[in-house]
Structure 1
Amino acid sequence: MSGPWSVVMTGEQWDDLRVHLFPGDRDEHGAVLRCGIARSPRGNRLLVRDVVLAENGVDYVAGDRGYRKLTASFVADNIDVCADEDLAYLAVHNHGGHANVGFSTTDMASHERGYPALLDINDGVPVGALVFATGAVAGDIWLGGGERAEITHLRVAGRPQMTLTPNPLTAAIADPGYDRQTRIFGDRGQAVLAGSKVAVVGLGGAGSLISEYLARLGVGELILIDPDRIDPTNLPRVVGARRSDAMTWLRDPRRPAFLRTIGDRIAFFKVRIAARVAREASPTVRITAVPRSVLDSDVAAMLTDCDHIFLAADSALVRRLVNSITHQYLVPHTQVGSKVSVKNGEVTDIFSVSRMSSPGSGCLQCNGLIPAWKLTEEATSPEQRRRQRYVEDDAVHAPSVITLNAVAASRAVDDWLMAVGGLVEADVTRDRWAMYHPLVDEPVEVEPTQKPGCLQCGPSRFAKGDGATLPVLLHPAGATVR
């Protein structure tokens, strides 16, 4: 468990905890956070699964050696739950102040007295403490074997996204090339973009636009995932695609079958085209281009420590996977797409959609967007796992046009940008899914519903991190990531 430690919680959890710790009485209050754990090359994250508020005078009482303390019974009840469910235990209290906070010598002495025993009860799963000011947080994490770590930050994965640190961080002056953006977000906002790791799953019409937008905004790291090669029919919609990428001279219908087959096999991967466009847009962006299915277990693992996922692949299996990652690893995602419905040769509906889902909110499963029949169909057909599918007849290509994709892609990136840039209005704290129907010039917004006990966003998976299995396929032998 080497590497930095951080904490992630949902916006709703933060609201509950903030109101409890800072009700306006300028007094000290307490709570316990029970957390799943996620480990990755970027570090270790404690994912807040439960916020257990300590009742003043009952669970949080006058201390023997300090001002206040959690009662022994309250601690025992929570550490027992953590031990049973393999969760990390974090005791919480607050100090005064706003932008700076740290533990007192009395706090640290209490950690020395109590945390070795709690670590034993929790079978070596981390225990520790957080102390909050209104705009800051510090942490002391006990890892076993005499090791301890401080937290680098706490991230609130909500609307808006917030990052709390023990002390204010000085933002470097942004590249002058981003002058027009920093006039909106400031140097600190540009630094947030530069420090963001964002994935785009599906690099077709919508995904290729999103990838370019993110690169031009100055996002620091992109993970691009799509197993498909460019097809001549994709050229009008995939940003930066060239006829030579699609090997059109080999795939011309007038060519012999063996030449068309060669063209099919050597056409460029969509991720390669997207990576080329992103690098032309931003010479500093770090890109991992993965020409494989996101359903491969090792590829799916790459999404679990991203800061956001844009889902632009219309597959029920992929939707289920990304939906699971959002709630299991507290990584927000936005599902993006457009569709043209045709019946008897007549266009019956056209729409573009952007659905941003925050951890703990109503999910794609709750809202009927991962149909069981489609999961079954895709799971039994490798060809349909590989290809996007919009119409019932495999031989018919669905209608599509770049402008429809642009509407969805722009809305999706704007929603994310407002959230991470802190420009969301105070009353816009819940997800709202947006659709636009150009046939009738009608925008529609809906608030996603949440079903109790949902297997995707409910307690069976929520914030378990590495403690639950993702719905992936077996890793294919010999597959490579580049």
Structure 2
Amino acid sequence: MAERTVSGTWSVVITGEQWALLHGHLFPGDGDEHGAILRCGIAESSRGARLLVHDVVPAVDGIDYIEGQRGYRKLTAEFVAENIGMCAEQGLAYLAVHNHGGQDRVGFSRTDMASHERGYPALLDINAGVPVGALVFAENAVAGDIWTSDGERHTVIDLRVAGRPHLTLTPELIIAPMSDPTYDRQARIFGDRGQTILGGSKVAVVGLGGIGSLIGEYLARLGVGELVFIDPDRIDPTNLPRVVGARRFDAWSPLQSDTRPRWMQRLGARLATPKVKIAARAARQASKTVRITQVRRSVVDSDVAMLLTDCDHIFLAADSALARRLVNSVTHQYLIPNTQVGSKVTVIDDTIADIFSVVRMSSPGSGCLQCNELIPAWRLTEEATSEVQRHRQRYVDDENIHAPSVITLNAVAASRAVDDWLMAIGGLTDSAVSADHWVAYHPLTDEVIEHEPAKSPDCRHCGPFRFAMGDKRSLLARP
């Protein structure tokens, strides 16, 4: 493997399930020191490098973690050799872990640092230049020392738990600055710390139609710092009642009227405003500080898909099987939670059979959309074929006939989706609540149906092949 040079900050990302295992092993209540090894994928971006925890390997006390000659305890040579060998074989980073006492502040001892200097050059060589290092934990803090093949050593700025609720650990407690008075009313709920998290978040919205446009405005008004809007489409007159911020002029409605010649309707469609531009305009009206990236292309294009890999959360409001598959794989490959959002009205023989809004928040490592049969193979096949072929093989569904939709159904789904995300990152979610919360609201029957997603251990999306592998695996995108 080629040597790796990474600039910028370093952080560690771990799932909620992994964190429960690791924290429980390090802090069982005996006040003693314990050890483990983390095998990690790597993701690099303009914001720095993230070590994505692929495996947590607890060291068994007295067998793998024993009394040390120079320090209090140490990992055995056999345990280190086994795990560095597995890291080298899979191209993963290696992190040795132990804990100290204390609560909100932690750092390596002189003995710890000396052991790194003795052992890590050799481990880095064995690992073919893929980073090696160590983490030390207190109850509510973490510090890290990462070694890279360019001869540099890097500190870890934080460890993030991508679960529900989210959790961020730093080397010492950071006092959040007082939030902008503009957000006083919501800071009374989430606190200055919560508002700081919102301001530092980078969130993608895929699909800026009826639901996505609402989500985009909600996020901007909440004070989210950076938004990535992705949608290839332009507005049309039938979107105007549902897309937040859309104006009649955006759709060039006079030209797109059914009474106009076809050439004039096509001209109106070409002149219509892109949905991402409308969403960005609405977001900027809502927030004076938000940074926005507009992408008027499909999310399944490889360079567009890469934009998702640097986000903190993804809202998927596009009803496309290819988009679902792509976002689903990004969530588990890069440990980035997503929320798939939709609403639908089913009509059979001119009779409304069902109406529902659905919100599916997926945490990395949990049951995914693929495991739960929400990415139909026939839809993938159809969407992957050419437009001419799609029209030839289409019998019942007609993509030119708009499905029923209404803004209130979209608002139910959008509000629930953003609320679930807010509660998670604000640390307000009850720890007893399932990490993944899939909810469907059926207004015809006034039913709210909750669903626990299933998980398949050999899934190619959330299973070992792709899980936390970061940049080592290709995205499920088209070139």
Normalised TM-score (structure 2): 0.97
What secondary structure sits across from 1:302 in the alignment? Answer: helix
Matched, 1:465 2:477: no
Cα-Cα RMSD = 1.2
What secondary structure sits across from 2:250 in the alignment? Answer: coil
Residue 434 of structure 1 contacts residue 444 of structure 1 at CA under 8 Å; is this kept in 2?
yes
Aligned partner letter, 1:227: P
What secondary structure sits across from 1:472 in the alignment? Answer: coil
Taking the TM superposition and a 5 Å limit, the aligned residue runs for 1:130-169 are 130-169=135-174
Select the residue among 282, 286, 293 that pairs with 1:281: 286
Select the residue among 40, 43, 47 that pairs with 1:42: 47
Residue 36 of structure 2 contacts residue 58 of structure 2 at CA under 8 Å; is this kept in 1?
yes
Residue 164 of structure 2 contacts residue 431 of structure 2 at CA under 8 Å; is this kept in 1?
no
| 2:437 aligned residue | 432
Q: Cα distance, 1:256 vs. partner?
A: 2.7
How many residues are aligned here? 470
Aligned partner letter, 2:170: T
| 2:349 aligned residue | 344
Identity rate, percent: 71
| 2:302 aligned residue | 297
Select the residue among 240, 243, 250 that pairs with 2:245: 240
What secondary structure sits across from 1:144 in the alignment? Answer: coil
Matched, 1:197 2:197: no
Give the whole-Å Cα distance in 1 for the aligned partners of 2:387 and 2:113: 56
The runs of 4+ residues in structure 1 deviating greater than 6 Å are none
Give the whole-Å Cα distance in 1 for the aligned partners of 2:51 and 2:389: 37
Taking the TM superposition and a 5 Å limit, the aligned residue runs for 1:38-437 are 38-382=43-387, 392-437=397-442
Deviations 1:259-296 (A, max 9, x none): 22211111100000000000000010000011111111
Deviations 1:241-268 (A, max 9, x none): 0010001122122223222221111110
Deviations 1:370-410 (A, max 9, x none): 0111111111135899xxx9x82234211000000000000
Residue 36 of structure 1 contacts residue 463 of structure 1 at CA under 8 Å; is this kept in 2?
yes
Give the whole-Å Cα distance in 2 for the aligned partners of 1:383 and 1:437: 36
Residue 38 of structure 1 contacts residue 44 of structure 1 at CA under 8 Å; is this kept in 2?
yes
285-294 or 394-403, which moves further after superposition?
394-403
Give the whole-Å Cα distance in 2 for the aligned partners of 1:90 and 1:172: 32
Give the whole-Å Cα distance in 2 for the aligned partners of 1:382 and 1:105: 65
Residue 257 of structure 2 contacts residue 265 of structure 2 at CA under 8 Å; is this kept in 1?
yes
Residue 378 of structure 1 contacts residue 384 of structure 1 at CA under 8 Å; is this kept in 2?
no
What secondary structure sits across from 1:7 in the alignment? Answer: strand
Give the whole-Å Cα distance in 1 for the aligned partners of 2:466 and 2:442: 35
Aligned partner letter, 1:369: L
Deviations 1:177-213 (A, max 9, x none): 1111011011010000000000000000000000000
Q: Cα distance, 1:165 vs. partner?
A: 0.3
Residue 160 of structure 1 contacts residue 429 of structure 1 at CA under 8 Å; is this kept in 2?
no
Give the whole-Å Cα distance in 2 for the aligned partners of 1:55 and 1:218: 45
Change (3 A) 1:347 1:131: same
Q: Cα distance, 1:342 vs. partner?
A: 0.3
Consecutive unaligned residues in structure 2, runs of 5 or more: 1-5
Deviations 1:95-118 (A, max 9, x none): 000110000000000000000000
Normalised TM-score (structure 1): 0.96
Give the whole-Å Cα distance in 2 for the aligned partners of 1:283 and 1:85: 45
Residue 21 of structure 1 contacts residue 28 of structure 1 at CA under 8 Å; is this kept in 2?
yes
Residue 12 of structure 2 contacts residue 51 of structure 2 at CA under 8 Å; is this kept in 1?
yes
What secondary structure sits across from 1:110 in the alignment? Answer: helix
What secondary structure sits across from 2:208 in the alignment? Answer: coil
Give the whole-Å Cα distance in 2 for the aligned partners of 1:44 and 1:394: 42
Residue 153 of structure 1 contacts residue 166 of structure 1 at CA under 8 Å; is this kept in 2?
yes
Q: Cα distance, 1:169 vs. partner?
A: 1.2
Q: Cα distance, 1:170 vs. partner?
A: 1.9
What secondary structure sits across from 2:450 in the alignment? Answer: strand
Q: Cα distance, 1:426 vs. partner?
A: 2.3
What secondary structure sits across from 2:43 in the alignment? Answer: strand
Deviations 1:430-460 (A, max 9, x none): 2120000000000000110101100100001
Residue 12 of structure 2 contacts residue 158 of structure 2 at CA under 8 Å; is this kept in 1?
yes
Aligned partner letter, 2:82: D
Give the whole-Å Cα distance in 2 for the aligned partners of 1:394 and 1:261: 17
Deviations 1:346-379 (A, max 9, x none): 0000000000000000000000100111111111
Give the whole-Å Cα distance in 2 for the aligned partners of 1:455 and 1:35: 18
Give the whole-Å Cα distance in 2 for the aligned partners of 1:98 and 1:13: 20
Aligned partner letter, 1:449: A
